Amino acid sequence: MNKEFPSHVSLTVFLFVIQLSLLIFASPSPMDGASGLGIISFGFTTLNSIVSDIQAIEIELSQVQVPSSSMTLNICREVVGRSLKQFAYVQNAMDSITLTLNQASLAQMALTAANTYVRTCQQALDEAGEDSHGPFGSVILLLEAAGAGQCTTSQAISQAITEIAKHTPKQDNTETEIPITQATPGAIIESVPASRRVRVAKDGSGNFKTINDAVKNVPLNQNAYFLIYVDEGKYEEYVLITSDRPYLILAGAGEGKTIITGNRSTGTGWGTFYSSTVAVEAENFIGFNMTIENTAGPVNSQAVALRTSASFSAFHRCTILGFQDTLFVHVGYQFFRQCTIAGTIDFIFGYSSVVFQNCIFILRQPLNGQSNVITASGRNCSTDLTGISIHMSSIMSAPELKNTTVSYLGRPWGNYARSAFLLSNFKASIDPSRWYPMNGSPADVEFGEFDNPGLGTRASVLRNNGTLDHKLDRNSAYQFTVDRMLMGGNWIGNMTVPYTKGLFP
């Protein structure tokens, strides 16, 4: 995996946000900040220079002399374009004299997504074996330049969030556990009017025979839910939910009944990013009651079943099957409830802030000599509001898993990895060292465990900073809950997906 790369997104943004927060909160009222217009203008100038850097990459990509069908070129063009949109969101957030805590958190996540998209381009270039001497040479150099200081920028917004939090009344007492929401699962589906729902059936009895045809007919840029109901059957297609189709519900007839299947992989030339059977790039997406699988098998290396590249995505009662890299939780806020996920190496990986509750994780048999790794968390910066949390779930072994296969809870995908297992029941055998090191010793890795029955006796392991890797206390474990990881979780309740906000139901 790639090391952290530099960028000149700048010390001036850091100074801008610190000055802005001091200006706003020095006044008697946090809302009194009108005199900060000069500093806001200064911040815009800096953010505009960041955007100019990314635009230079976009221009360079348009001039790369490779076939237009190049998968690497297409990935980079796509993700760099999305990066610019995320930076624009940060600019708009900074247009406000003061920010609420939620607005600041969303700006932080947008900045994280922007940086992740740039990194995704670099990872695609690395995966394709490109270097600075090839046709992408100028792009690679610009990517390296466009990254230095990104963590300083993230730290600046993080400090602004800390200041805002000091002046925001606390809604909940973290010492008091918050019970599960009493949402009626799937109730939002029943609320969608007939005019905003279609049915897919392979036998032609519905509105469409394929899921993709149904997706193409979803209204663009809507702000109310649209339902695609998929009848029982096996659908051999690659489904892409583009960002201009938010508020979409994709619901099946049941796990194991409605099956979306594909077999793309890096081993067959697709690359990790484009190997997914289903890719979700639209916000406020709900996946319900279906199976998504990638059948490429362990011999074909990375092969994604589901890629989620958008915030406010929820999956309820879905089965996601693959081997290496089954579930790519790419960017944004995401939630999985009562889902089954099966795989081998790094089968949950990415840069998002994601919580799994009441899910089942199945360890499958990899190639001989390989080990199973459940999570591979990546973060661009130590202040990014991201990580992988597995909460109140079960970890099991597939019947074919050999006793000689070693399995681990996770490993870092570069610096700043952050993963935790909370109140989860282990029926699979996990190596006593628990966590598998990757690429030497990445910095500031945060791995956590809290009250997991069946995990067994753990070996004494030194963390990368030399301190003993120990179990989380209750306070630290709370930082991996829906309340802390997913902005409190109200958006999940609005989707009528049940969830536990705190540690205990």
Catalytic residues: 346
Q: Cα–Cα distances in Å, from 177 out to 58, 343, 422? A: 48, 33, 14
State the burial class of residue 191 (Cβ atoms within 10 Å of its Cβ: 0-12, 13-18, 19+): exposed
- Cα separation, 291 vs 130, in Å, equals 35
- Cα separation, 111 vs 86, in Å, equals 7
Residue type at 447 in one-letter notation: F
Q: Return the residue matching tokens 């815009």.
A: 44
- Cα separation, 34 vs 432, in Å, equals 57
- Cα separation, 414 vs 465, in Å, equals 15
Rg (CA), the chain: 22
**Complete DSSP assignment for 403-471:** TT--EEEEEESSTT-EEEEES-EE-S---TT-B---SS--TT-EEEEES-TT--PPPP-B-TTSSB---
Residue 346 near residue 326 (C-beta atoms within 8 A): no
